[in-house]
A and B are shown apart, each in its own frame.
Chain A
Amino acid sequence: MNRITARRRHPLARYAVLLFALALLGGVYTVAAPAGQSADAAIASGKVDDVAAGKKLFEQSCASCHGLNLEGTKTGPTLVGVGAAAVDFQVSSGRMPAAQPGAQAPRKQKYPWVNETTIRQLAAYVQSKGGGPAVPSDDAVDPAKGNSAKGGELFRANCIQCHNFVGAGGALTEGKYAPDLNSSTPKQIYEAMVTGPQAMPPFNDSTITPEQKRDMIAYIVEVRGQKDPGGFGLGRIGPVTEGLALWVVGISLLVLAAIWITAKRRQKKS
């Protein structure tokens, strides 16, 4: 006791007390804060800084279409409540920010400033405005943990009418289309299902459970990774390319063969 009281007038004591108080405050805050706030995943995991940085990015690259407060404009829908999953899907696949307005934003090369950090920051900002579906965990989208056969049945029942048997994509009305699923990451497939981007309907967790989503991801990933046992896959879009191959390769070759055979004639003896 004496030792402490003896040094209480030490010139550094006031700093020590201040440091202790700050540490205590910080410690209590980190323990108490999550319990005290809404269970908002983005804010909980992210730092307050992410939201601020995200806001800045948003104002630079998104606000011209979606509005300064995510309220939406004539050229872009409102983003209130779309959630971090929607942001992650759109921005990580290069669809957003869009290059130009159109029926549908295509998957494209990402802008140089887009990376994991900036996507997380943007997602945190959008999530802070009205919540919405969160980015799924790696475990939730792991194809290895899904049952591809079950996923296949769900895939055929829910997805192929637009995306084709093997996810080769297809056309929709009014210039829209269902993109092919060959370059989508498992995470993006999951996010597309929960958020229903562009022309796609959302499949929330009560329609298709998270496990079922993982099964479907397992099916898509397994089938698209298959080596075609029958030779060249012809784009896997069915009889259209098969018919094309038949006429362009098959009939052409046989016509050439016919011309060749009949060009050979017996020399006239004279």
Chain B
Amino acid sequence: MSAKIGINEKSTVHQPSITETPKAIAGVSTYLDDRLGAGNFLKRNLRKIFPDHWSFLLGEIALYSFIILLLTGTFLTFWFKPSMAHVVYDGVYEPLKGVGMSEAYASSLHISLEVRGGLLMRQMHHWAALLFVAGMMVHMLRVFFTGAYRKPRELNWLIGILLLTLALVEGLTGYSLPDDLLSGAGLRITEGVMISLPLVGSYITFFLFGGEYPGTDIISRFFTLHVLLIPGILLALISAHMILMWVQKHTQMPGKDRKNTNVVGAPFYPAFMAKAGAYFLFTFAVTAGLGTFAQINPIWLFGPYTPADISAGSQPDFYMGFLEGSLRLMPAWEINFLGYTLPLSVIIPALLPLGIIMTGLALYPFLEQWVTGDRREHHVCDRPRNNPHRTSIGMAAISFYGLLWLLGANDEISAKFQISLFVTTIVGRVLVFVLPVVTYIVTYSICIGLQRKDAEVIGHGVESGVIKRLPSGEYIEIHVPPADDIADHMLGKRPVAMLPGAGDGEAEPEGVPPKALRGPIGKLRAKMSRAYGGEKVAIDDGHGHHDDHGEHAAIGAGDGGHSNDKK
């Protein structure tokens, strides 16, 4: 009782309220604002709206992994010695005592087995690196399948492709640094690919390695690339990526009141910031959890690198797996011409799949524009089913990539599942051509099927579970309109754009086609546009006659019709 009185007494003296900023905060803020002018910026940006969809968070996996990589990587540099100088190991690991090795390997062993927390940091660094690339990949797939790369975001898409490419190089230089036997195998393949380049191969190799492989320079050079140059570029590109995203605003999924001219969602502060912060903690938890409980890259088991040794099951990290797979699939072809050898068995698997996938990704927004003639801005995402050709192309590419990736582990598959190694190779050689085609056809059918389902839901409603008997004795199931949010989501569908004058549906246009569509390329373009664009399954939302018909709409529904037939 007395405490209450105390508060009352105080409040009569001062009267604090929640709308008033405490002096300790207001003073500092004003001081900073007067000097930085940040208040205006924050006022404008803190309320920035971010649309809500789980798949929009996938890119943040990569962003947060990058932060974890910077932190753990800095820790590792305190002990790592990027030197190929020869030392004799005298650490705690008994099975390597007295073995000659490079200083890089010895210091990596020291970090792993003697520095307190060193192994955890190394493992977190490695897991975060895998998560970094995997996060980029899933984010990129989300952007691709929802068409979020369309105008005005083509440049940000290209920055993303560049980021992915650099991440692969960053990973390659990173896992070569410990100079263990496994990383050496990767380095050797890298050298093999480089030296197989026509004309310049041997020069580039000698330039990079500072002479004959492996030389004494490569670790220190990779170290500089890995900790300074590439992270610097990555940081700059990530910033550009984020700024562009911020300025252009995030895309949103189709739904109620969501248009190309607005953004529907939660403000950055406080809602989105809390979510993003929580998601950082989740990413950190997963990285720390994996680093604690799952052993990764146990270099002490691999031994030091010697060019003469190689182990069974030498695989690269997962993001290089598709290159390994293509190398394993390739027949041993080479061309000998005037004393020069062109090793097709190395050049083709190293450059072709990478070229197809990376170039294909980079060019896709522009190819799509060329085919559809669509130069409008898009801020509302496509649902993957609503652009069936894009989705099918994406899935075909995934199956191509996935197969090569899988076959990069064909020896492990062979050993663990008792499948003959030759069978995996032969089946792989066939599937690498067949599987993308099959995937394309299957995906296309599924997309069309899903579109039909949407059209049915909008046109006839969803099954209510209520069976009604008509006076005539006929049974029908009552269909009710779908929930508003689902209906709005479905009705956000827009037909894929088509070149003007390309024709309608499958039919060729009548009369003289426009100038751009003449000639063989123009005709092909028109044909592709007809196939790619247009509305495959139109949604009839039944507005207008929905209310008049009432139960008739229900009778006309698929199930009602079937029961008619059975009777």
Contacts and interface: CB of A to CB of B under 8 A. Distances in A.
Given A246-B318, A258-B279, A240 B414 contact: no
Nearest to B409: A240
Interface of B: 52-58, 61, 94-99, 112-113, 119, 123, 127, 130-131, 134-135, 138, 181-182, 266, 271, 275, 278-279, 282-283, 286-287, 290, 292-298, 301-303, 306, 308-318, 321, 409-412, 414-415, 420-422
Contacts of B58: 254-255, 258
A157 to B, nearest CB: 6
Nearest to B185: A238
B317 A239 contact: yes
B412 A253 contact: no
B306 to A, nearest CB: 7
A171 B52 contact: no
Interface string A144-177: 0000111111001100111111101111111101
A166 B301 CA distance: 7
B52 A262 contact: yes
Interface residues of A, number: 61
Contacts of A11: none
A234 interface: yes
B279 A242 contact: no
Interface of A: 103, 148-153, 156-157, 160-166, 168-175, 177-178, 219, 222-223, 228-234, 236-240, 242-243, 245-247, 249-251, 253-255, 257-259, 261-266
Given A236-B298, A245-B290, A246-B290, A165 B181 contact: yes
Contact of B311 (A161, A175, A254, A261): A161
Contacts of B138: 251, 255
A31 B131 CA distance: 74
A261 to B, nearest CB: 5
Contacts of B296: 230, 234, 242
A254 B295 contact: no
Contact of B315 (A223, A239, A245, A266): A239
A230 B288 CA distance: 12
A67 B134 CA distance: 58
A163 B181 CA distance: 15
10 contacts: A103-B420, A172-B421, A229-B295, A230-B295, A231-B294, A232-B294, A232-B295, A234-B294, A243-B321, A253-B286
A243 B296 CA distance: 10
**Chain A facing B: main interface SS:** helix
A258 B57 CA distance: 6
Contacts of B182: 165, 238-239
A89 to B, nearest CB: 21
A144 to B, nearest CB: 13
B310 A173 contact: no
A39 B511 CA distance: 102
B202 to A, nearest CB: 27
Contact of A152 (B95, B119, B317): B95
Contacts of B266: 265-266
Nearest to B138: A251
A62 to B, nearest CB: 25
A266 B54 CA distance: 15
A233 B293 CA distance: 9
B322 to A, nearest CB: 11
Nearest to B320: A239
B420 A165 contact: no
Given A149-B96, A238-B315, A240-B313, A174 B422 contact: yes
